[in-house]
Amino acid sequence: MMEFIVILMGVVIGGVGYHIYITTKGCSPKAGTQARAVLAHLKKNKNLTAKEAKELYSIGALRSVVCRLRSAGYEIETEMNGHRAIYSMK
């Protein structure tokens, strides 16, 4: 599976705007949407579990989304609490 980060840069009044899209070749269209949701959650709330991802964002495979984000260059740590993984940004 190949993954890409596409950064679009545009000039807006008062500054420059950046849009970052995480896309995955061969994945469903919602793969990028899930990655953006997880990334925003980690930046805002500091950590995320699979149970929270399922309840909040209907993400059934958080480990897969985290793997895509890591492949895209994001530094995400995994802390194990028994059999449960807790993900956080480094």
- CATH for 85: 1.10.10
Instruction: Give the Cα-Cα-Cα angle 73, 8, 37 (nearest 5 degrees).
Output: 55
Q: What is the pLDDT of residues 40-89, one digit of tens each?
A: 999 998 899 999 999 999 999 999 999 888 888 889 999 999 999 999 99
Task: Domain count for the chain, please give it.
Answer: 1
Does a structural domain hold residue 13? no
Q: What is the mean pLDDT of residues 28-45?
A: 82
What pLDDT, on the 0 to 100 scale, is given for residue 47? 94
Q: Is residue 79 part of a domain?
A: yes
What is the value of pTM for the model shown? 0.66
User: Which of 12-26, 31-45, 51-65 has the weakest average pLDDT?
Assistant: 12-26
Does the residue 45 lie in any domain?
yes
* Dihedral sign for Cα atoms in the order 69, 3, 60, 29: positive
Q: Which domain, by its residues, includes 58?
A: 28-89
Phi, psi angle pair for 59, to nearest 5° = -95, 115
Structure confidence at residue 11 as a pLDDT band (50, 70, 90): very low
